[in-house]
């Protein structure tokens, strides 16, 4: 099922389908490796829901919620319990 990255539940994995938007924000996302085909995991939401933390290729990245709303993903599995 396709959804926005900002709507992905904690601990769930997804594959990036599309990065919308334009300009510097889109370029920054691509530079960080947020590109179609990459797999990500939702790690954490800040207490007020912004920013979010994702795991991509073994790295933890923080994104503003408005940035996460530009990324379309497809969920590829259920929740994964990661010990920190």
7 is a domain residue: yes
CA-CA distance, 76 to 68, in Å (whole number)? Answer: 18
pTM: 0.83
pLDDT of residue 81 exceeding 70, the answer is no
What is the reported pLDDT for 83? 42
Residue 53 CA to residue 65 CA, distance in Å, equals 10
Establish if 56 belongs to a structural domain: yes
pLDDT digits (tens, 9 = 90+) for 11-70: 999 999 999 988 888 898 899 999 999 999 999 999 888 899 999 999 999 999 999 999
Q: Please give the tally of structural domains in the chain.
A: 1
CATH code: domain of residue 48 = 2.30.30.90
Cis preceding linkage at 6, omega within 30:
no
Give CA 48 to chain center in angstroms: 17
């Amino acid at each position: 099922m396709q959804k926005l990255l900002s709507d992905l539940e904690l601990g769930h994995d997804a594959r990036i389908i599309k990065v919308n938007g334009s300009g510097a924000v889109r370029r920054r996302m691509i530079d960080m490796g947020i590109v179609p085909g990459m797999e990500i995991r939702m790690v954490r939401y800040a207490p007020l829901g912004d920013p979010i933390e994702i795991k991509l290729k073994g790295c933890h990245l923080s994104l503003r919620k408005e940035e996460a709303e530009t990324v379309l993903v497809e969920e590829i599995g259920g929740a994964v319990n990661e010990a920190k």
